[in-house]
Amino acid sequence: MNVLRLVLGFALACSASACVVAADDCAPVIEKPWVRAAPPGATTLAGYLVLRNPCSAAVVVTDVESRDFGMPMIHRSEVVEGVSRMRHVGELTLAPGESLVFAPGGLHLMLMKPERALAEGDEVGVRLVLADGRRVFAVFPVRREAP
């Protein structure tokens, strides 16, 4: 009988710790990803998405990576004293339950130095790097217009 209690206790402890790990591994979700198709020979494209934080803690995005682009970055378009400018964004913090919209004319992925020619219908992979070292991956279809 003691062996049965030991086995059941171990199983219960393992399942409880698995629940804790699953809760701690909460990560932001990339929704509606897409890259705007550009003319042949273009060296810079733009990526858009909705980034949602379903977690109970804030999440910090520090960088973007892609094997399909030599220099991906997060940028924000803004008007300063009547002049439109693009600025590199060092990091983004999403509060619990918050969503950020990456859209034309605002926050976006600046995808420079494509590794291959991209046309409508192609797909590229993009990873958002979190402050804790984790990465959130999504496939971005190349499209002429937003989905």
- List the CATH number of the domain containing 42: 2.60.40.1890
Q: Enter the tokens of residue 138.
A: 């999504």
123-141 pLDDT, tens digit each:
999 999 999 999 999 999 9
Does residue 81 lie in a domain region? yes
- C-alpha separations of 35 from 29, 63, 110 in Å: 17, 17, 10
- How far apart are the C-alpha atoms of 53 and 93, rounded to whole Å? 10
Does residue 70 lie in a domain region? yes
The whole domain housing 122 covers 26-143
Domain count, the chain: 1
- C-alpha separations of 132 from 43, 74, 127 in Å: 31, 18, 14
Does residue 97 lie in a domain region? yes
Does residue 56 lie in a domain region? yes
Does residue 17 lie in a domain region? no
Least confident of 6-20, 66-80, 81-95: 6-20
Does residue 47 lie in a domain region? yes
State residue 17's pLDDT score. 32
| 16/119: higher pLDDT | 119
36-70 pLDDT, tens digit each:
999 999 999 999 999 999 999 999 999 999 999 99
